[in-house]
């Protein structure tokens, strides 16, 4: 009888632990898979995303100016035990930019996903956004906003993407 009670307690604790663990927020980004292109001024911005597994989505970002790739970055959405993270690794830079998912707003026309920087070193030689917002507008449209700290006095940048693949 004691053995059966022990098994029941173990099963109950397992169920409670599974229910209290961090939800997989990465599922909200399945729509991001594919290739996205934005045209702004003389720049072409491309993002490509694919699901790697249940906890990781891999991406590549690049900025093309007059036929030359001026920025190349490896992107990652990573579900960890303490939340969802957006990571950027720039080519020829060992510093990983890491943003934590902090909010989602959804209405009938769009879904907005906000990430905030959690590890900005002050000695970076380039401007780093304080937060990044992805907005799913339609099935094949999205808007990405890069917002900088008020102290930097850099205006937000907004890119309107269309899915091409």
With the C-alpha atoms ordered 87, 35, 127, 72, is the resulting torsion angle positive or negative? positive
Q: Is residue 9 included in any domain, yes or no?
A: no
| CA angle 93–95–100, rounded 5-degree value | 135
Q: Is residue 1 included in any domain, yes or no?
A: no
Is residue 131 over pLDDT 90? no
Identify the domain containing residue 30 by its residue range. 25-163
Q: Is residue 150 included in any domain, yes or no?
A: yes
Q: What is the band of 122 on the pLDDT scale with cuts at 50, 70, 90?
A: low
pLDDT digits (tens, 9 = 90+) for 69-86: 988 999 999 999 888 898
- What's the whole-number average pLDDT of the chain? 80
Residues 6 or more apart in contact with residue 132 via CB below 8 angstroms: 86, 99, 114, 115, 144, 145, 146, 147
Q: Choose among 88, 86, 136, 144: nearest CA to 109.
A: 136
Specify the CATH number for the domain of residue 48: 2.40.128.20
pTM confidence score: 0.76
Count of residues making up the chain: 165
Q: Is residue 98 included in any domain, yes or no?
A: yes
> What domain count does the chain have?
1
């Amino acid at each position: 009888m004691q053995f059966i009670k022990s098994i029941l307690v173990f099963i109950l604790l397992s169920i409670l632990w599974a229910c209290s663990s961090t939800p997989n927020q990465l599922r909200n980004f399945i729509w991001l898979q594919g290739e996205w292109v934005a045209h702004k001024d003389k720049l072409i911005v491309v993002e490509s995303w694919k699901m790697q597994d249940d906890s990781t989505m891999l991406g590549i970002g690049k900025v093309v100016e007059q036929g030359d790739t001026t920025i190349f970055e490896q992107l990652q959405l990573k579900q960890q035990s303490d939340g969802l993270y957006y990571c950027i690794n720039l080519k020829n830079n060992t510093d990983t930019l890491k943003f934590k998912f902090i909010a989602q707003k959804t209405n009938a026309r769009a879904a907005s996903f906000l990430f905030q920087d959690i590890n900005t070193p002050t000695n970076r030689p380039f401007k780093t956004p304080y937060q990044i917002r992805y907005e799913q507008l339609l099935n094949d449209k999205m808007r990405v906003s890069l917002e900088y700290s008020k102290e930097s006095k850099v205006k937000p940048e907004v890119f309107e993407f269309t899915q091409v693949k």
